[in-house]
Structure 1
Amino acid sequence: MATKQNQSRLSDVNERVSDVLRKYGDTRVGKYSLIAPTLFVVAVLMVFPTLILMSYSMNPFVQGNIQPGVTLAHYLEAFTTPLYRNILFRTIKIAAIVTVIDFLLGFPLAYAAVRKGGWTGKLIVIATLAPLTIDLVVRSFGWFVLLNGSGVIITTLKMLGLVTSETAPTLLFNETGIIIGLSHVMLPFMVFPIINVMHTIPRTLEEAAQNLGANRFTVFTRILVPLALPGISAGVLITFVVSLASYVTPAMLGGGVKVLPVVITNTFTSTSNWPFASALSMILVAVALLVIVGYQRVLKQMDGVGGV
């Protein structure tokens, strides 16, 4: 009996909410009311912490203590010191290289997963998704084991006679190790947005283009890429931004080669210079926002493509 009463009350509440939405849903107040919860969550979890970080970045830091006041000295130090400029450029470069590599690997995987279907498509999806079930530290340590001088990769190359102990490449504690590790970590974030869009592209469009004389490269550049561009753009942005802010993999595989997130963490923990670390963090946020806004504007200027 109590269950029926609860169901009746719930049904009444649903009907009242539906009536309100039908009555006020198209008004400005109704629209803002619907998105108010989302805006509140974004403000609490993203906007307010960023503002706090910005306020810290403008506090003077004198003799190991944060002082009241406003200064831009930390930003000037970050941009005028060659060390930090090089680290910023290295971080952007590594994120860009990882994004390109993941696109070159991810698009064929997404295409094969959708077009092949069956067990082949399922195996591709499972193989791409499976690494996400393993902790990031474990995956990065796995690459540490594979890439070191006595690891599987170098040992195999020596057994095949392709390299010797003197000519063996260094794959760890440099930019190469970071790029390899991040490319593996970020690959699912490139593949799955493209898969979602590829499902909406009819195979008949490719067949029609081939019947009209287009080769595979033309079909790829003139049919698949333009139609899959929303998924590609989402994958590119996610991969680039997350690679830009990655800490664990560069910290484990980079050694003395530092990227900005590693420097920020070390500054917070080792020197307690929160204002300078906050300034570096705000610079990283600004770079990510500039890339996102610039990328969206480029997409909007292209025919038939809006923002992400």
Structure 2
Amino acid sequence: MWRFSSFIVLILISITKLGAHAHPLVPCFFIFGDSLSDPGNNNRLKTKAKANYRPYGIDIPGRKPTGRFSNGLTAVDVIAEQLGFHRRIPPFSSTKGHDILKGVNYASGAAGIRPETSQHLGDIVSFDKQLRNHQKLISRLNTKLNGSTQAQAHLKKCLYTTIIGSNDYINNYFMPEHYSTGRNYTYDSYANSLISLYRRNLQILYKNGARKVVVFGLGLVGCTLGQVIKNRPHSLCVDDVNIAVLLMNDKLKALVAELNRKNRDAKFTYINLQGMVIGPHNGLFLTKLNCSKIFYWPGHA
């Protein structure tokens, strides 16, 4: 389903423009997001949003579930490999020692930009909590690198990715049985509220040293299995969900442009995920077979 090569190339181009030529291309890689990036941070949480059981992980060496919401590696695992890292970026929940010098993965399955998103599933590490975890790690880096000056110099060389926002729709806005956002916001005002929070979080990242930031747009989550089964069992996609998501992507793209204008010493790169959907045009088909029992309901991201 993922066209890894397309956005890996875009990321490498954005790094090269900043003059990174060492091997690995960057000394450290920090990852924020949801189940598209979660390497197992949810394993120890009291939540339904877990993937530490089969058939997850069946295509990973060892054929054991790791907590990744995938049969194999995630997109950020592949990106790390392409960047030259010999080991996968470890989850924050189990990071220790010198591992922190090469980066940490903070992503949490079902996480959203809004703090209440997916709370009906149990404990979730939302975007703002992931940033707080990052700030805790920076304190540890200050100690390891003998001061904040050295730590900041190190952090400015790192790559940062954020892949988050889908759950704010499928596990919040379009879930009226649990959340009131769908009644209180129009598509436009809800996207504005998400962008306001996203802006604040990216500014926090910048203040904490981030200078190479890759922001992934939302995929067409209206075409995910959970959404189709829940809303349009005889259709390929749920148009209402996709319309809302595309509006969010337009605003997110504008936010990235704004941050580049305001922060000339940094590079924010927007990656478009809209084309990465299930459909006959890319050789992938959605069948009527309901395999969603292995996922947390009604959809996951």
Asked if Structure 1 and Structure 2 have the same fold, meaning a TM-score greater than 0.5 normalized by the shorter chain, the answer is no
Higher RCO, 1 or 2 (CA under 8 Å, sep at least 6)? Answer: 1
Q: Which structure shows the higher strand fraction?
A: 2
Scaled by the length of structure 2, the TM-score of the pair is 0.27
Q: Which structure shows the higher helix fraction?
A: 1
Greater Rg by CA: 1
Scaled by the length of structure 1, the TM-score of the pair is 0.27
